[in-house]
């Protein structure tokens, strides 16, 4: 399988969404355009824009990093994004 990416999207309402994927371009397109494959959270907050991504060696590492980012406060996430 391809390289895993943890990503953060900024939604239209300025909220942040965090996810993982092996194909970041396809996934952002799904969040913005595909009602069946988009996350329910992002469907009503379109358009979304990629503001942060980092690569992980495998799915397990990506999911652990995703959970770590999701546990951050919005202020901490904004600091991560601005690095």
Domain boundaries, the chain: 4-81
Residue 10 has φ and ψ, to the nearest 5°, of -100, 125
pTM of the entire predicted model: 0.94
pLDDT value, residue 1: 54
Q: What stretches of 1-83 show up as alpha helix (H) in DSSP?
A: 24-33, 40-43, 59-70, 74-81
pLDDT value, residue 68: 98
pLDDT value, residue 62: 97
**Each residue of 11-69: pLDDT tens digit?**
999 999 999 999 999 999 999 999 899 999 999 999 999 999 999 999 999 999 999 99
pLDDT value, residue 9: 98
Per CATH, the number for 4-81 is 3.40.1440.10
């Amino acid at each position: 399988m391809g390289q895993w990416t943890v990503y953060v999207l900024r939604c239209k309402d300025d909220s942040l969404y965090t996810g993982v994927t092996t194909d970041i371009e396809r996934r952002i397109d799904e969040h913005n355009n595909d009602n069946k494959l988009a996350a329910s959270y992002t469907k009503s907050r379109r358009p979304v824009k990629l503001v942060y991504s980092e690569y992980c060696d495998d799915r397990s590492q990506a999911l652990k990093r995703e959970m770590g980012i999701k546990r951050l406060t919005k202020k901490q996430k904004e600091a991560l994004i601005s690095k």
